[in-house]
Amino acid sequence: MSEVKVYPPPKMVERKCKCCCKSFQARAADVKRGWGLFCSKSCKAIKQEQKTHQHRDYTRGYWDRQEAFEKGHVEPTFSNAHQFSNEEHDCNKD
Ligand SMILES: [Zn+2]
């Protein structure tokens, strides 16, 4: 029981973060997969948000509606909209 399996350290390559331009070490296997573009998860999140604006728009839209709802300006339409799209889907099937 003295044999200990030693895994070789992953091959690392130097990369430049696409967000903050900082040099960092990424695993070569990850780079091969198209990963290793960012030095950290937060940099990845920032860059992806800049690219798509999806997360920010969604968050802002949600809070706008939530705020408006709390002030009594709009009806809560989340569940209604969902039901409506389901109805539409059934109609198409017929
Ligand atoms: Zn970075």
Instruction: Go through 5-25 and write b for each residue having 16 or more CB atoms within 10 A of its CB, e for each that does not.
Output: eeeeeeeeeebebebeeeebe
Looking at the structure, tell me whether residues 57 and 87 fall in a common domain.
Answer: yes
CA of 32 to the centre of ligand 1 (A): 19
- Is residue 2 one of the residues assigned to a domain? no
CA of 31 to the centre of ligand 1 (A): 15
Statement: residue 30 has pLDDT above 90: yes
Looking at the structure, tell me whether residues 59 and 93 fall in a common domain.
Answer: yes
Q: How many domains does the chain have?
A: 2
d(CA 81, CA 93): 19
Which residue blocks in the chain are alpha helix, DSSP H? 28-32, 41-52, 54-70, 78-93
- Is residue 5 one of the residues assigned to a domain? no
Statement: residue 86 has pLDDT above 70: no
pLDDT, tens digit, 9 for 90 and up, residues 4-28: 888 888 899 999 999 999 999 999 9
The three-class DSSP label of residue 30 is helix
- Is residue 22 one of the residues assigned to a domain? yes
CA of 49 to the centre of ligand 1 (A): 14
Statement: residue 79 has pLDDT above 90: no
- Is residue 69 one of the residues assigned to a domain? yes
Give me the pLDDT at residue 2, please. Answer: 73
CA of 15 to the centre of ligand 1 (A): 10
pTM: 0.47
- Is residue 64 one of the residues assigned to a domain? yes
Q: Which domain holds residue 20?
A: 10-38
| Mean pLDDT, range 51-58, rounded to an integer | 62
Give me the pLDDT at residue 7, please. Answer: 84
